[in-house]
Structure 1
Amino acid sequence: MTMVAKRGVRQLALLLIVLVTSTFLGSATAAAAELDDYLWERRPLLVFAPTDRDPRLVETLSRIESSRCDFGDRDMVLGLMVNEGSSTLDGQEVNPDEAQRLRDQYAIGESAFSVLLIGKDGGQKLRVDEVPDLSAIYDLIDGMPMRSRETSANPSRC
């Protein structure tokens, strides 16, 4: 085999390695943005809005930010599902098909605003169609048997 042919084979092999690696890493990133990844570990709070500029979404995010410690202390993770803009789950992008699948799964209209609390068991625990009262959500979580066990093992940091 000539030197040129060997170099071509090496370049082809390198290209294949890069493609396989990027495909694998891309799949891992996409998989991290699915609700099932949080089962028994975290409590997703899903916020559905028509756009990422919706005033109700902006107010909800402001409330979460002002109670960040309480939010994190209850093992919560934020999911933003919007029709116009970027949807995310725990800060990772969710592709539009997955966002639509979640809208369909929870029967959320395209122009609706809705907030859902999903328990660690994957079940829907609360649904409100307005800016949520986070104190009420935290109280609901605090009343759950699993949360009682969590606070017995690890007292609140807040």
Structure 2
Amino acid sequence: MTMRRSFARLALVLTGLMASAGLGAASAAAAELSDYRWAQRPLLVFAPTDSDPRVVETLGRIETSRCAFVDRDMVLGLMVAEGTSTLDGHVVDAGESRRLADEYAIAADDFAVVLIGKDGGEKLRINEVPDLQTVYTVIDGMPMRSREAAADPDGC
């Protein structure tokens, strides 16, 4: 089995696991970023394909720290130039995926991870596989997150 095929298979398995786990699934079948405003923090992963090794590594890291991811009211958006894009496990149509890539100035062959705050603003941009501790530190420094943590100190 080639390394590319292994990556593709792992990406599909991890995507299925994450979709089924919900990762803080929204109450409705939302597939637009605006549906998450004031409720959750989207982490958008932009890549050429869903089998890109950086996507596979990112998904693995999220799965490994799923409790911390969910505890921070995060949802995953996978926006790919070729293949099926998803937001919180829901399919995003190609037009919406392209619109988001344009909005965040991400070229079709680029890899980027963009953290969106509950207010809808971009909070962090990383152009490599993210260190999720860095992402969590950025979120934990947000005033809204401080209030959330104080209200529910029993997190992960």
Per the normalisation by structure 1, the TM-score is 0.80
Equivalent residue number for residue 106 of structure 1: 104
Equivalent residue number for residue 69 of structure 2: 71
Alignment of 1:29-44 (within 5 A): 29=29, 32-44=30-42
Alignment of 1:12-23 (within 5 A): none
1:144 is matched by which residue type in structure 2? M
2:117 is matched by which residue type in structure 1? G
Structure 1: state its 5+ residue gaps.
1-27
Per the normalisation by structure 2, the TM-score is 0.81
**Alpha-carbon distance between aligned partners in 1 of 2:154 and 2:32, rounded to the nearest angstrom:** 27
What CA deviation, in whole Å up to 9, does each residue of 1:54-98 have, x standing for no partner?
000000000000000000000000000001111000000000000
**Alpha-carbon distance between aligned partners in 1 of 2:62 and 2:143, rounded to the nearest angstrom:** 23
SS for the counterpart of 1:155 is coil
Equivalent residue number for residue 114 of structure 2: 116
Per-residue deviation at 1:155?
1.3
2:74 is matched by which residue type in structure 1? M
Percent identical across equivalent pairs? 68
Structure 2: state its 5+ residue gaps.
1-27
Q: Which has the higher helix share?
A: 1
2:36 is matched by which residue type in structure 1? Y
Per-residue deviation at 1:157?
2.3
**Alpha-carbon distance between aligned partners in 2 of 1:68 and 1:55, rounded to the nearest angstrom:** 20
1:136 is matched by which residue type in structure 2? T
1:115 is matched by which residue type in structure 2? V
- Structure 1 stretches of at least 4 aligned residues deviating more than 2 Å after TM superposition: none
State which of 144, 147, 150 in structure 2 corresponds to 1:146. Answer: 144
**Alpha-carbon distance between aligned partners in 2 of 1:85 and 1:93, rounded to the nearest angstrom:** 11
